[in-house]
Structure 1
Amino acid sequence: METVLRPLIVVGGSVVLTLLAGWLLDLLLRRADARHRETPLWGLLRRCRPPFLLLLCAALLRAAFPQAGVRTVYWPAIGRALDLVLIGAAAWLLIRIATAAVETVYARYAAGATDEARVRRVRTQVTLIQRAVAAVVVVLALAAMLLTFPKMQAVGASMLASAGVVGIVAGIAAQSTLGNLFAGLQIAFGDTVRIGDTVVVDKEWGKVEEITLTFLVVRTWDERRITMPVSYFTGKPYENWSRGGAEMTGTVFLHLDHRAPVALMREKLQDVLKEHPEWDGRSSGLVVTDTTPHTIQVRAVVTAKNADDIWTLRCAVREELIAWLAAEHPYALPRIATSPATEAPTPAGTGSGPGSGTEG
């Protein structure tokens, strides 16, 4: 009977103490979050409750079983399993704490910053650093788990001795992966592309939605996601419309008849722009840029504060100018002549048949 009660008491007591400690920790964090609304740190630290509970419970069980005098043939396996849980929970807790600290620093910086481009740059760097730290912690945790097995400790010396050769072979085999990894770090600290930037890659227009150490996600205007290796942005040319500022200049081309009222179109363009809040008022204009035997090419130039607004404004200007011309000046729209060609006149003094000559 005692061999059954002792394990139950140990497990039950550990679970009760763990839940009590978790409740107390959550209570303290909630009170701290209520008192310090200016920082999100305490609210973010509440996410650490699950790994904290797991770590505490595993530590209590690991310490209580030998002290309770419980002897079982399964103890070595139980002890090793608890060691693995301890290492995994500690790594999980460390990642959650680091994430909370990093997000708190970024939130404070973003709240006081006025330069949107710099905020996106810091966000990109923080995200990549956070992922790098998580990757390092996971690798170290896996290595510590492997070292808990006696056989792995025995071959540790030989593994270290051959680490140089293995590293060379792994570097050759994972050349593209390592290239993407270093490209991700270059993007993070080189400020070439940031989360939220508007880019054009492979004739696709969209915004950078996510940047990792190995790949980058671009969300297109029609809600598609394009996943690309980060090495693309360090080895090939691409358009970054947000680089140096989000303001943009857009053009609208119209092909019209030679009789089009260009002066009146300039006045109409100003009326159209005043009715659309997307226009930032920096610049506008309308000129004739080319001519053909049948039409002229008219270009309207407009400006907006970002890529989304410039696209909306270009479509609106194109639509309203064409509608205005169709209603007020239909002769200005291009047309194709379909009248039959006139026959050439017959020269004077020529006949039309065998008997057309004069008799003598």
Structure 2
Amino acid sequence: MFKLYEEIFKEGRYPVLVQNLALFVVPLIAGILLRYLLSWLAKRRAKKTAAYSFFRSMITYLARPVTIWLPLLFIKISLPEMVLSPKWMTSLDKTLDIALTVTFAWVLINIVNVGGTYLFNRYDLSKKDNIRERKVRTQLLVIQRIVSGAIIFITIAFVLLSFDGVKKIGAGLLTGVGIGGIIVGFAAQRSLGNLFAGLHIAFTQPIRIDDVLIVEGQYGNVEEITLSYVVLRIWDSRRLILPITYFLEKPFENWTRTGSELLTTVFIFMDYTVPVTAVRDELTRLLNANQTWNKKVNTLVVSDAREHAIQLRALISADNSGNAAELQFYVREGLISFVQKNYPDALPKTRVVMEKVDTSSG
């Protein structure tokens, strides 16, 4: 390419400004065209695949950063051929170096996202027994965030060290590294604590993505795990956000620690006259008619006897938390409707005994 440039611009045929402008615009256009060529090829491959496509994911994450990075790279390659004063050459060269460093970091972070999306797609949480998928996803999520954070940190360090003033400050700090280390340690104590807590949770896994927890009296699923906080999706679509260290310092209930299957209970109050056997048979009929029941647990007992009513407890099972909640509502409504229709006198009632008082003797 540069031989062709020398043939066109030899012997000062064109002004220097035109030559420099050509060396700037041509690489810029070449980089943009190369980006669109790669995008076109990826889209062709993506059309031949199923709902998830690795190439479609590449287009989604890499299109924007590559659109900026490739033209900058081409301009950097053509920079030595430009006719500039030493001052302008040095300034432009340093600016391009910083821009290339930042955009390349952007490309790397999105490559990490592409890999994360690919692995997330392989480990699908919609399976019935998804404990392995939840384990792997939790580890991948934390590792992905750590790698992205490391890329950002290293990029900032490279950019800062490209300035002479910052290098001198760094050299001065190295002489007092002992005191500086103590100060930085105190300042970053909480951040480092969160980082180590995130790593601890990723590999020991007291909680995982999509685990069913009861925290602070709230029932919900783990929706997101970051290096600083955990998002719990409550049953009514609210979000409970807790610091990541909470799960290492305070007790909580994890209903899916060893598997995704759940036992759930349905409590109903009835009169003492209710035929328990008939209600038990109705529970079995209801469960057999519902596909969310996993056909493992089906019991109904009298769990309490109070002054005015007895308490029936139905214990049922489902493959996951969503099915368990749906089955719980279905069974409660079904049993109440059954008693209302067939044994209305067995619904809870308050009895008042009226005794006849003999007034004839007065």
Smaller-chain TM-score bracket: 0.7 to 0.9
Q: CA deviation at 1:9?
A: 1.3
Partner of 1:5: 18
What SS class does the counterpart of residue 199 from structure 1 fall into? strand
Partner of 1:319: 333
* CA spacing shift, 1:295–1:31, aligned 2, 3 Å: closer
Q: Distance in 1 between matches of 2:112 and 2:274?
A: 65
Bigger shift: residues 114-123 or 97-106: 97-106
* CA spacing shift, 1:289–1:222, aligned 2, 3 Å: closer
Rg larger in 1 or in 2? 1
Q: What is the TM-score of this pair, normalised by structure 2?
A: 0.85
* CA spacing shift, 1:164–1:99, aligned 2, 3 Å: farther
Q: Distance in 2 between matches of 1:77 and 1:142?
A: 19
Residue 86 of structure 1 pairs with residue 100 of structure 2:
yes
Partner of 2:248: 234
1:285-324 alignment to 2 at 5 Å? 285-324=299-338
Q: Distance in 1 between matches of 2:332 and 2:233?
A: 26
* CA spacing shift, 1:266–1:82, aligned 2, 3 Å: same
Is the 1:32–1:42 Cα contact (8 Å) retained in structure 2? yes
Q: CA deviation at 1:30?
A: 4.6
* CA spacing shift, 1:176–1:18, aligned 2, 3 Å: same
Residue deviations 1:256-290, cap 9 Å, x none? 22211112212222222222222211121222222
CA RMSD of aligned residues (A): 2.9
Name structure 1 gaps, 5 residues minimum. 353-360
What amino acid sits opposite 1:227 in the alignment? I
* CA spacing shift, 1:162–1:342, aligned 2, 3 Å: farther
Q: Distance in 2 between matches of 1:291 and 1:269?
A: 20
What amino acid sits opposite 1:4 in the alignment? L
* CA spacing shift, 1:147–1:279, aligned 2, 3 Å: same
Aligned counterpart in structure 1 of residue 35 of structure 2, from 17, 22, 40: 22
Residue 69 of structure 1 pairs with residue 77 of structure 2:
no
What amino acid sits opposite 1:181 in the alignment? L
Is the 2:231–2:240 Cα contact (8 Å) retained in structure 1? yes
Is the 2:16–2:83 Cα contact (8 Å) retained in structure 1? no
Is the 2:130–2:260 Cα contact (8 Å) retained in structure 1? no
Q: Distance in 2 between matches of 1:307 and 1:93?
A: 38
Q: CA deviation at 1:68?
A: 1.8
Partner of 2:10: none
Q: Distance in 1 between matches of 2:118 and 2:302?
A: 54
How many residues were matched structurally?
347
* CA spacing shift, 1:174–1:276, aligned 2, 3 Å: same
Is the 1:39–1:108 Cα contact (8 Å) retained in structure 2? no
Q: CA deviation at 1:95?
A: 2.0
Is the 1:33–1:40 Cα contact (8 Å) retained in structure 2? yes
* CA spacing shift, 1:295–1:26, aligned 2, 3 Å: closer
> How many percent of aligned residue pairs carry the same amino acid?
33
Q: CA deviation at 1:65?
A: 3.6
Partner of 2:227: 213
Residue 140 of structure 1 pairs with residue 157 of structure 2:
no
What amino acid sits opposite 1:317 in the alignment? V
* CA spacing shift, 1:81–1:276, aligned 2, 3 Å: same
Q: What is the TM-score of this pair, normalised by structure 1?
A: 0.85
Aligned counterpart in structure 2 of residue 56 of structure 1, from 70, 85, 89: 70
Residue deviations 1:187-228, cap 9 Å, x none? 111122111212111111111111111111111111112221
Aligned counterpart in structure 2 of residue 185 of structure 1, from 176, 183, 199: 199
Q: CA deviation at 1:59?
A: 2.8
Q: Distance in 1 between matches of 2:175 and 2:274?
A: 82
Partner of 1:165: 179
Q: Distance in 2 between matches of 1:208 and 1:334?
A: 38
What SS class does the counterpart of residue 23 from structure 1 fall into? helix
Is the 2:219–2:235 Cα contact (8 Å) retained in structure 1? yes
* CA spacing shift, 1:165–1:36, aligned 2, 3 Å: farther
Residue 153 of structure 1 pairs with residue 147 of structure 2:
no
Is the 2:46–2:55 Cα contact (8 Å) retained in structure 1? yes
* CA spacing shift, 1:331–1:89, aligned 2, 3 Å: same
Is the 1:197–1:207 Cα contact (8 Å) retained in structure 2? yes
Q: CA deviation at 1:71?
A: 3.1
* CA spacing shift, 1:105–1:128, aligned 2, 3 Å: same
* CA spacing shift, 1:317–1:45, aligned 2, 3 Å: closer
Aligned counterpart in structure 2 of residue 253 of structure 1, from 267, 272, 291: 267
Partner of 1:356: none
Aligned counterpart in structure 2 of residue 332 of structure 1, from 346, 354, 358: 346
* CA spacing shift, 1:39–1:310, aligned 2, 3 Å: closer
Aligned counterpart in structure 2 of residue 127 of structure 1, from 118, 128, 141: 141
Is the 1:249–1:302 Cα contact (8 Å) retained in structure 2? yes
Bigger shift: residues 140-149 or 92-101: 92-101
Is the 2:295–2:317 Cα contact (8 Å) retained in structure 1? yes
Q: Distance in 1 between matches of 2:135 and 2:90?
A: 50
